[in-house]
Structure 1
């Protein structure tokens, strides 16, 4: 999961400063994300190509291997998230990530808050989205 996250972040957000190095990201997935949150992966050819992480109604992580973007995997993962949390979901994403903004809006999420980035580790302006059935 961490390797997909690292590849996806680098490809989708090249202008965003990463708050943690590769090894710290790997440790975070191993010791925090997988044991503490609800996690799913998309697999093709024996390799992880996408990941979904939920914490209550919070869609914490949805990342795809860059080679798999635009092929329906993200649609299936967000559909799974809605199935798992039928009362609604919320998430944060960076304002600079135009493809993610369009993706979530296409899936019925609505922007409810924009910030200047002072509350996230990257210091990057972000946007809060919610989905309610």
Structure 2
């Protein structure tokens, strides 16, 4: 979903910010499957999404034995060139909800977003592992 969001941004200068618009990414996936519910959350109340969280939440909530995944895409600045670009991170929940005392995982807050115009990249918060490292 992250890559599709980045491609969409290159064409539209906007990220898809709502789950109801997931078809715009051209992935051909259902928003609900046996194991996951897929959710997209963009900038709330913004006219243009400068970031979006792509969330794969375990469908069985507290009893799920699969981990949550949260991808984050954001407009950022490359430190070396000061050029604006799309940046992404993919985070995996450290534990499945069933192994985490039933605590649901997979949320917008799983991404450590960077401030607009700041150098750096989005990151994973504690409780999540960065799959890009």
Shorter-chain TM-score bucket reads 0.3 to 0.5
Structure number with greater Rg is 2
**TM-score, normalised by the number of residues in structure 2:** 0.33
**TM-score, normalised by the number of residues in structure 1:** 0.33
**Could you say which structure has the higher helix fraction?**
1
